[in-house]
Structure 1
Amino acid sequence: MKNRYKYIFITDARDVIFQRNIFDYVNQYDEGLFVFQESVKMTIKKCSYNSKWIKDCYGDTELERIGNRSIICAGTILGSWRPMLDYLSIVEQITRSKYRQCNDQGIHNYIVHNNVINNTKIHIITHENGFVATLGYRGIYIRNKFGLILNRNGQVYAVIHQFDRIKQINDQYNIEYQLWPTLTQQ
């Protein structure tokens, strides 16, 4: 499979929509792992969920160490073949050893902020200027005339994650991309 696929994108399924081909955005970077910030204004320590996930898995010392860093979302991860397999191997090892107290977001932030993957370039892509939007903490959304959501530079995001947290966007997508008829339709 390595010769067939250069990049792998793993993502949540329920709250993700594609606006463009995500693989078109990686040509300007070296190979590696691409991870996506939720918002430069929100840190792990400021978020009750993310701080709990780090603390539950790694304790107060680790929370203090990385708590002032940006939240990196575990719901969208892109990587070239080898770095992605290395990343998933580390996630599996941690999950097996700490499966009762850790969740994927805590593990993901630990791996990224501690640069745990040997010989791998980790590209931390900002929400504000990047090609993946994670909408959980963002308040203002810029759209083009077609309704596509844009980053701060006016470029179309390839992927929108957590769209269901914003009522207006969720309603729009439910109308535009309805796959299953509701029970009220005959």
Structure 2
Amino acid sequence: MSTRSALPVPTVPGWHSTPVEPIRSDGPLDAIVTAVSGYRPADMAVWFNSLKATGFAGRIFVVAYDVDAELVRWMEAQGAVVFTYRQDGPRYRYSQLDEELADHLDGRKLRVDGRWTWTRRILRFRDKIHDRRFFHSSELLRDHAERTGETFRFLAFSDARDVAFQCNPFDWIAANLPADKDLLASVEGITHDDPWNHRMTIKAFGKHALRRVAGKPVICCGFFAGRFEPMLELMLANYYFDQSKRIGDQIAFNQLLSFGAFGRITLLTDWQQPWTLHACTLMEPSKSPGAFADPATLPRFEDGVVLTRAGERFAVIHHYDRAPAVEARFKALYGTP
């Protein structure tokens, strides 16, 4: 039997969210969540403006770590629900050390494993926001749903500064996610023979883990989506899976999806389907030893639009800033805060 109802609200102490304006809807909402740290409005303009241009009318959530209050106010003005940790003058700041110490305090006893070296070497501890964002995205959105009573259909997790939108990504999900699948992710045009992915998998988990994904395409965690509750579970599991390593959000993501429990409910797409494109390895032929994408199948950039080879418009362009012509186009259209 679940004991979640007995937990204090909010379930992630220390965090606050902006007031929620009701969204009129005949059914569950779609939602997208991202995380920011150190950014300014100019860094987020393409993300927000291109998303709004698709007609997306769901809920936008932002987990904000170390940012100016100016950015928080600007994102709120764009309609986002912004989660912040602690205000310090003109900035909001986050401390994973403070949060985790509070999280492991049981009465007056700090219950931590002796291998948690950061409890002994505080000055060497560094916040790992690229991993921690999955924990907060899961727990803060669950808490939001419980407190507000809002219900959600699909949820997407998105990188922030390097993602742009050409269509509403949830339209494609609604039309193409089978009933027996709950999650949706996209592969890059490289396998784990790619030097960075090869090296980081061994560094994080060892060669036994590399064998689990040997020869398989790299699944990118820069943009993925699915049904709301399974997405909360996937993000939290990815954080816990990587928690002891703290070096590889994407490495953990690929290991997690190699297990049948998650793999069986995940639909994988590639660059020949007009959903999410990871431009870093697919806008042009990759020079990586792990590259396997047939150059004849790669996307086209025509009249300012990124298309599949068959001529369909991609909904999401991740790493749009890795392709100079694409970056220039998106910034010209959407780059003004």
TM range (shorter): 0.7 to 0.9
Of the candidates 176, 179, 183, which is equivalent to residue 33 of structure 1? 183
Q: Which amino acid aligns with 1:71?
A: V
2:300 matched to 1:142? yes
**Shift in Å, 1:53:** 2.0
Is the radius of gyration larger for structure 1 or structure 2? 2
> Which of 271, 274, 283 is equivalent to 1:127?
271
Q: Distance in 1 between matches of 2:239 and 2:272?
A: 30
1:151 paired to 2:308: yes
RMSD after superposition: 2.0
Identity across aligned pairs (percent)? 23
- Distance in 2, Cα, partners of 1:20 & 1:130: 10
CA distance in structure 2 between the partners assigned to 1:152 and 1:32 by the alignment:
27
Cα deviation, 1:6-48, whole Å, max 9, x if unaligned, reads 1110011010001000000012222411011112xx2111x11
Measured after TM superposition, the shift of residue 56 of structure 1 is 1.5
Long gaps (5+) in structure 2: 1-144, 285-297
Counterpart of 1:109 in structure 2 is 254
Whether the 8 Å contact between 2:185 and 2:219 is mirrored in structure 1 is yes
Amino acid in the other structure paired with 1:81: F
Q: Is the 8 A contact 1:50 1:106 kept in 2?
A: yes
Q: What's 1:184 paired with? A: none
Bigger RCO of structures 1 and 2 (CA < 8 A, at least 6 apart): 1
Task: List alignment gaps of at least 5 residues for structure 1.
Answer: 181-186
Alpha-carbon shift at residue 67 of structure 1 (Å): 2.1
Does 2:325 correspond to 1:177? Answer: no
The aligned length equals 173
**Deviates further, 12-21 or 136-145:** 136-145
Residue 71 in structure 1 maps to residue 218 in structure 2? yes
Q: Is the 8 A contact 1:131 1:151 kept in 2?
A: no
Alignment TM-score, normalising by the size of structure 1: 0.84
Tell me, yes or no, if the aligned pair for 2:274 and 2:315 is still in contact at 8 Å. no
Partner secondary structure for residue 170 of structure 2: helix
- TM-superposed CA distance for 1:125, in Å, is 0.7
Q: What displacement does 1:151 show?
A: 1.4
Whole-angstrom distance in 1 between the partners of 2:154 and 2:316: 15
CA contact (8 A) 1:34 1:123 kept: yes
Would the aligned equivalents of 2:187 and 2:217 in 1 still touch at CA under 8 Å?
Answer: yes
